[in-house]
C-alpha cells in the first residue's frame, strides 16, 4: 500500500531554496485531525505522520486497518505538505528549523492524548516516508517508554556517507534525558525502495537501539516506497497487545 507521492524529498535544489526562504516553519498553524474513538472512550492513542506531498486525512485513511475499539487517532498536518525541505541525507542543519518544528508537533499530539487520559505508554507513533523521519528524530530526542514506534520507509535525517551527522544524532540520543526503555520500535522498508539506502536504514535502527528501543529491523524483498503488509502486521500485533493490557 502506498500514500501517493511519498518520497522523503525529491525537490530540485533551486525550488527548495525558494520555499525555504519564504516560510521557515509554519507547522504549528496547521490542523491536527482526529478519528477513531472519542476522547471519553479513548484507551489507546495512535499518532500518524504523513509523508511528503500527502495529507493528514490521507494517512488517517491509509491506516484505517489499524483501528480498534477504544483507539483514538491524531494526525497533524505538515505546512504545505512537507515536514522539512531537503533530503534526509542532507546535513542536519539544512533541514532546520523545520525538523525541530516537526518534532514539536509530535510532542503537541502527545500532550493532547495525555489530557484525555491516555499515557505515553499506551500511545503508538507511526510515520511513513518524511513522517517516518520525523517519528525517528522525535524518538531520539524525547526518549521514554511509549506504546510503540513505527518508522516506515524513513530514516533519522543526517548524511550517512560521511557518518558525521548520523554520529551527531547518536550522540544526541545518548545525551538525551531518559531512555526508550525497551519501547517496541519497528524500522522497515523495501529493498526496492529507490529513495533510501539500506545503510541509512540500518544506521537508523542502530541509533534507535542505542536510545533504548527494542528494535525490529525488517527489509522486505521486492517492495518499493510503500507501507508493507509486514509493517501492518507488526503494528496490529503491538496495538492488540496494548488493548489486552489493563489501563
Interval 133-178: pLDDT, tens? 999 999 999 999 999 999 999 999 986 654 555 566 666 665 567 8
Burial class (CB in 10 A: 0-12, 13-18, 19+), 72: buried
- Report the run of H or E that residue 60 belongs to, with start and end: helix 56-62
Task: Give the model's pLDDT for residue 178.
Answer: 84
Task: Give the model's pLDDT for residue 245.
Answer: 87
Interval 202-235: pLDDT, tens? 999 999 999 999 999 999 999 999 999 999 999 9
pLDDT value at 64 more than 60:
yes
pLDDT band, very low/low/confident/very high, at 6 (cuts 50, 70, 90): very low
pLDDT value at 122 more than 50:
yes
- Answer whether 193's CB lies under 8 Å from 153's CB: yes
Neighbours of 200 (CB within 10 A): 20
For the chain, what percent of residues have pLDDT higher than 90?
74
pLDDT value at 19 more than 60:
no
Task: Give the model's pLDDT for residue 28.
Answer: 84
Task: Give the model's pLDDT for residue 185.
Answer: 98
**Which residues, 6 or more positions from 169, have their beta carbon under 8 angstroms from its beta carbon?**
92, 137, 140, 156, 157, 158, 207
Closest of 207, 107, 95 to residue 151, by C-alpha: 207
Phi–psi pair at 6, nearest 5 degrees:
-115, 10
Task: Give the model's pLDDT for residue 26.
Answer: 86
* pTM score: 0.87
pLDDT value at 247 more than 70:
no
Dihedral Cα 19, 20, 23, 28, nearest 10 deg? 110
Stretch 121-140: mean pLDDT: 97
pLDDT value at 14 more than 50:
no
Task: Give the model's pLDDT for residue 92.
Answer: 86
Amino acid at each position: 500500500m502506498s500514500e501517493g507521492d511519498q518520497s522523503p524529498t525529491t525537490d530540485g535544489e533551486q525550488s527548495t531554496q525558494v520555499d525555504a526562504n519564504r516560510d521557515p516553519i509554519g507547522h504549528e498553524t496547521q490542523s491536527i485531525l482526529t478519528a477513531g474513538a472519542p476522547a471519553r472512550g479513548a484507551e489507546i492513542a495512535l499518532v500518524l505522520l504523513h509523508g511528503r506531498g500527502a495529507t493528514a486525512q490521507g494517512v488517517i485513511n491509509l491506516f484505517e486497518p489499524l483501528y480498534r475499539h477504544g483507539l483514538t487517532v491524531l494526525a497533524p498536518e505538515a505546512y504545505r505538505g512537507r515536514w522539512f525541505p531537503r533530503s534526509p541525507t542532507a546535513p542536519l542543519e539544512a533541514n532546520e528549523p523545520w525538523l525541530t518544528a516537526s518534532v514539536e508537533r509530535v510532542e503537541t499530539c502527545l500532550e493532547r492524548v495525555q489530557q484525555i487520559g491516555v499515557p505515553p505508554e499506551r500511545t503508538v507513533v507511526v510515520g511513513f516516508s518524511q513522517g517516518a523521519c520525523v517519528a525517528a528524530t522525535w524518538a531520539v530526542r524525547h526518549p521514554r517508554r511509549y506504546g510503540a514506534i513505527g518508522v516506515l520507509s524513513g530514516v533519522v535525517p543526517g548524511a550517512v556517507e560521511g557518518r558525521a551527522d548520523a554520529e551527531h544524532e547518536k550522540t544526541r540520543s545518548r545525551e538525551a534525558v531518559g531512555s526508550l526503555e525497551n519501547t517496541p520500535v519497528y524500522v522497515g522498508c523495501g529493498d526496492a525502495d529507490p529513495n533510501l539506502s539500506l545503510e541509512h536504514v540500518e544506521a537508523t535502527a542502530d541509533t534507535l537501539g542505542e536510545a533504548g528501543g527494542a528494535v525490529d529491523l525488517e527489509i522486505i524483498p521486492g517492495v518499493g516506497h510503500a507501507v508493507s503488509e509486514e509493517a501492518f502486521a507488526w503494528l496490529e500485533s503491538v496495538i492488540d497487545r496494548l488493548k489486552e493490557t489493563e489501563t
